[in-house]
Amino acid sequence: MTKIAILGYGTIGSGVAKVIKENKNIVSGNAGDDIEVVKILDLRDFPGDENEKLVTHDYEEIVSDPEIDIVVETMGGTKPAFDFVKRALLAGKSVCTSNKALVADHGTELIQIAKDKNVKFYFEASVGGGIPILRPLRTCIVADEVESIRGILNGTTNFILTKMDRDGASYEDVLKEAQKLGYAEADPTADVEGHDTCRKIAILTALAYGAQVDFQDIDTKGISDITSEDMAYAKKLGRQIKLLGLSRRENGKLYALVSPYMLDESDALYSVSGVFNAITVKGNMLGDVMFYGQGAGKEATASAVVTDIIETVKKRGQKLDINWSADKLTVESSDKLSDRFFVRVKESDADVITAFNGAERIEGVVSGEVGFITKSLTYEEFTAKLGAKTPISVIRYA
């Protein structure tokens, strides 16, 4: 019997209890041992809930209980999650978490402690919700040099962009709907400004290259200034606007970026819509592989956490198999990353297009302005050519 405690009985934490109960035989069969939730930490009480008797408000009861082998952290945020997780690992307990902020901020240190204590620290659900992506990165795509990772990593923003495209609705209206449906996190800033995607691409990149990536080094732009007019241009061009997190190795340098992109129909990420996520990984031998599924949601995310619990039980006593050293990877500025750019300017500024050799002009979408698409150039070169002109909007164009 493996006894576990859950920290945080919200959407994901209660989902973990549900998966363990409803898939009891599958879970114990795959783990080779019965798994039992014996304690749940939360500030709240849950009268009438089937697990109400397991609830405690005191973390000491969990961290000092020698019978608890695995701590599941589904609280989110770093305070007090970091302190709780660190103490659990130091006490010789394995930890499985869905918390991307925790992993992006403290992954290097927590992995090192887990290795020192010969316990596990797994975090599959922190990126892509239920999509198996971290396990393939650390155990399957290991004979390759990863050339690039590109993903739609945030369900809320993908839902908003899909709705804006399909219904012609404004950003503000669709954001309100996303909040009503419970997709957006308590503070939507993390989703819409790309911070959530930034932490996820930092984790993916760290795992792909086996070293620390500071998420603060990744230039991040969200979707809050995407308008119905941008959508109208995308439609005319047969494109979809998607928020991408990407990292790419070029000439020995590592680039990483979070930014909206206008994607062509032939792009694997073009038709990923609604709250779904997808990630493409390109290996130098493997070529492109793609992972697709529910990037958020109670059961899907909990399923990934329970898979980590199963792996922890199966690998009890073995060394933690995560290659993620404290060596910090240098992330180049995205100003040096080449792309094509879609640009809108006022009609009175349209002469700037002549500075962009071979640019494709788009007219007749919004009155009083002109759109154009540049050839591939770095953002630095792009702004130099724009000179003093202020564009109405600029979106990377893949």
Site residues (CB under 6 A) for ligand HSE? 129, 154-156, 183, 185, 191, 196, 295-296
Q: Provide the minimum distance between the beta carbon of 236 and ligand HSE in the complex, in angstroms, as a whole number.
A: 28
Is the Cβ of residue 185 or residue 381 nearer to ligand HSE in the bound state? 185
CB 249 within 8 A of CB 145: yes
CB 261 within 8 A of CB 242: yes
Is the Cβ of residue 69 or residue 193 nearer to ligand HSE in the bound state? 193
Gap between the Cα atoms of 239 and 285, Å rounded = 30
Count of CA atoms in the C-beta half-sphere (13 A) of 143:
4
Is the Cβ of residue 245 or residue 295 nearer to ligand HSE in the bound state? 295
Q: In degrees to the nearest 10, what's the CA dihedral of 263, 269, 273, 279?
A: -140
Query: What is the sign, positive or negative, of the torsion defined by CA atoms of 34, 39, 43, 44?
Result: positive
Is the Cβ of residue 194 or residue 295 nearer to ligand HSE in the bound state? 295
CB 262 within 8 A of CB 237: yes
Gap between the Cα atoms of 311 and 315, Å rounded = 6
Q: Provide the minimum distance between the beta carbon of 267 and ligand HSE in the complex, in angstroms, as a whole number.
A: 20
Residue among 117, 127, 187 at smallest CA distance from 154 = 127
Is the Cβ of residue 183 or residue 379 nearer to ligand HSE in the bound state? 183
Q: How close are the terminal C-alpha atoms of the chain, in Å?
A: 51
Q: Provide the minimum distance between the beta carbon of 294 and ligand HSE in the complex, in angstroms, as a whole number.
A: 9
Q: Provide the minimum distance between the beta carbon of 241 and ligand HSE in the complex, in angstroms, as a whole number.
A: 17
Per-residue tokens: 392? 């109405």
Residue among 393, 398, 381 at smallest CA distance from 343 = 393
Q: At what angle do helices 171-180 and 155-167 cross, to 10 degrees?
A: 130
Q: Which residues contact 22 (CB under 8 A, 6 or more apart)?
A: none
| C-alpha 71: how far from chain center | 22
Q: Provide the minimum distance between the beta carbon of 81 and ligand HSE in the complex, in angstroms, as a whole number.
A: 15
- Per-residue CA distances from 55 to 292, 316, 372 (Å): 35, 27, 59
200 is catalytic: yes
Q: Which of 200, 221, 242, 282 is catalytic?
A: 200
| C-alpha 343: how far from chain center | 27
Is the Cβ of residue 129 or residue 260 nearer to ligand HSE in the bound state? 129
Q: Provide the minimum distance between the beta carbon of 159 and ligand HSE in the complex, in angstroms, as a whole number.
A: 8
Which residues are catalytically annotated? 200
